[in-house]
Chain A
Amino acid sequence: MTETAATPRTYRDYAQPLWRRLLVSREGAVIAALVLVVVFAISFVPHFAQPITLTYLLLDITPILLIALPMTLIIITGEIDLSVASTMGLASVTLGVLHQAGMPIPLAGAIALVVGAIAGALNGFLITVVGLPSLAVTIGTLALYRGLAVGLLGTTAVTEFTEFWTDLAKSKIPGTSMPSVVIVILVLAIVFVALLHFTPFGRGIFAIGLSPETARFSGVKVERTKFILFVLSGLISALAGLYYTLRFSSARGDNATGYELQVIAAVLLGGVSIFGGRGSIVGPLGGVFLIGVLASALRLANVTSDVINIITGTLLVASVVATSFLAWFRTKRARPGKKTEILAVAKG
């Protein structure tokens, strides 16, 4: 490193063809891996290559896809929301209890969404106004909301729902094998992409994740932004809870237990930095699909659930570790002609 000068990166570093730049981005990698898994599964896993696979897959991952949207934004600000699955359960029970008492589904559902938004607002209040860390707050409300949900219904379940609504939750877009709920996901995904990537609010989210102090001095309303995100998270978790309840025709206090970890795993796999400041909407959605398709293919290949968990867990760790490991490997075999890289890695 004797002859190293602090040469800035040359234009050549950025002058790669578009396909190559896409490929080296984390989002590109996730989507390429997804395509790879799909191709392998179609070629080698019996019964995978049929339309019903897509139907079941989409029905299964819908709640995760929905919650991944606000979760991505929250993690980019450097915060986290662990209470999402409990909020799903609370919304599910709210819908069940109110419907059992004779309230029509649209009204009961609307109230359940409000309950979800209030649950999110309580998180937001404790984090932004009281100033507690989101990890601690949402671990607390994870237990609190789940406790409320189980307490409201006990060990019983509400299973009588108007058939129109339960059928709607499972219905397909006519003439396709796509569940109708895909439309909701698409609309929300577009809204969130626009919100994150094309609005000042979205720029503010990145700024908060990189440095809350700098963001504050640049005029970003840090507390207000975070509060809005937690309310959104509660609202969309409740929506996912309504979908879950109607799809399975079952409102139970323990519905969707453990979903928060699936959401966070997919978001991190999709390239969102757990330290904040970096990420996109496309990456996490790709991450949800990758985990979902992998699980679906492995189940069809008669791989047991514990092995599926081991594989998805390994994939998650590997995707995080691979980046750092390869950087280290490069420094070992770096040659004199590679000064810029050495410098870049040394700085990193």
Chain B
Amino acid sequence: MFGFTRKARVGAFAAIAVSVALVATGCAATGTDSGTDEGSGDADLSITFLPKNLGNAYFDTSDKGGADAIAEFGGTYAEVGPATGSPDGQVSYINTLTQQGVGAIALSANDPDALCDAVGEARDAGVKVVTFDADTNPDCRDLFINQAEADGIAKVEVDLIAEQIGDAGKIAILSATANATNQNAWIELMKADLAANHPNIELVDVVYGDDDDQTSFDKTAALLQTYPDLKGIISPTTVGIAAAARYLQTSEFKGKVFLTGLGTPNQMRDFVNDGTVTAFALWNPADLGYLAAYAAKALIEGTITGAEGDKFDAGKLGSYTVGKDGTVLLGDPFTFNKDNIADFNF
């Protein structure tokens, strides 16, 4: 049709067939390798991490924590996941893991509902499912490892700013959007905490940077113009704190106005190392993955069922108790400062 001969087309077919055959043999080799790992021992401690997507530094860190835990108790660690964060991609992987009959899946869910059927089929087939970072509906999975509770997040931010400004003076909050559910809940708790425990700190304003870098930057500038005697800023959003730090870094206020909030080490590294920011908070994703792995182990071994009040051991993190709705709380948020920030990469 394009003037190719019959033989050229036979050849083309042969080339396709051979390339497919090579691919298939290649995958078969990896396949048999993994196949031998399974079925050894009484309980199958093969635990597979299924993050929202691969190539995400946050999940690289959490899954590394999981791998460390699994190495400690002698299980088999694996990590699979879609290239982009989509629920249908995760469903395919949950189905695959169900077919493989792994011991447990540690899942960060891309959608609370869309994964429920697949998770249900996995559990019917005897696979334990622990969610971490992002939950499915509570009745779908066995356990959820919650990284932080609103109380803990609000308290650590107030404590950090109080410590930095000497527990007295004017502060402001640079939030995400005006209707951001999480941030608004935290801000209410911070206000209550300030009123009850820090009478000398005055919260003068709450501004919204819309989780946009430039808007947050501009709002920071405006705050410092409006309140020249401002002593501190809390930004309970990773976009906001980085933008505010970038403004402070090159302004006359560096070292005079203290900034804290929720941030990630990679965004904040420069600002912490040059003294713009003393300390900020977030949970430690490595601990989150570590705890998820130990929870999965306890479920596989049958020492817990995921019911409220169940206790299990989590290696270096100590002992944990399952709370309401099959939730395990990791603990207080983690404070990052100049001394420890070099240990983190996410």
Contacts and interface: CB of A to CB of B under 8 A. Distances in A.
Contact of A60 (B3, B28, B92): B92
Interface string A244-265: 1001111010101110000000
Contacts of B11: 322, 326, 329-330
19 contacts: A24-B6, A29-B16, A41-B28, A44-B25, A46-B100, A47-B101, A56-B95, A252-B114, A257-B86, A297-B24, A299-B80, A299-B93, A301-B30, A302-B80, A305-B82, A319-B16, A326-B9, A329-B11, A340-B5
B231 to A, nearest CB: 35
B317 interface: no
Interface of A: 13, 16, 23-26, 28-30, 32-33, 36-37, 40-41, 43-47, 50, 52-53, 56, 60, 157, 159, 170, 244, 247-250, 252, 254, 256-258, 278, 294-306, 309, 311, 314-315, 318-319, 322-323, 325-327, 329-330, 340-341, 344-345, 347-348
B206 interface: no
A25 B4 CA distance: 12
Interface string B6-28: 11111111011101110111011
Q: Which of B13, B80, B86 has the most CB of A within 10 A?
A: B13
Interface stretch (B31-39, B192-200, B208-216, B295-303): B31-39
B113 A159 contact: yes
B15 A318 contact: yes
Contacts of A296: 92, 96
Contact of A323 (B4, B27, B114): B4
Contact of B31 (A23, A300, A315, A347): A300
B20 A326 contact: no
A170 B95 CA distance: 14
Report the contact-size class of chain B (Cβ under 8 Å from the partner): 35 or more
A256 B88 contact: yes
B4 to A, nearest CB: 5
Contact of A305 (B1, B4, B83): B83
Contacts of A300: 31, 96, 99-100
Interface string B85-124: 0111101110110111100000000011110110000000
Contacts of B29: 44
Contact of B23 (A305, A311, A325, A327): A311
B35 A305 contact: no
A258 B113 contact: no
B100 to A, nearest CB: 5
Given A44-B31, A302-B30, A327-B5, A56 B92 contact: yes
Contacts of A330: 5, 7-8, 11
A24 B12 CA distance: 8
A306 B15 contact: no
Nearest to A30: B16
A341 B55 contact: no
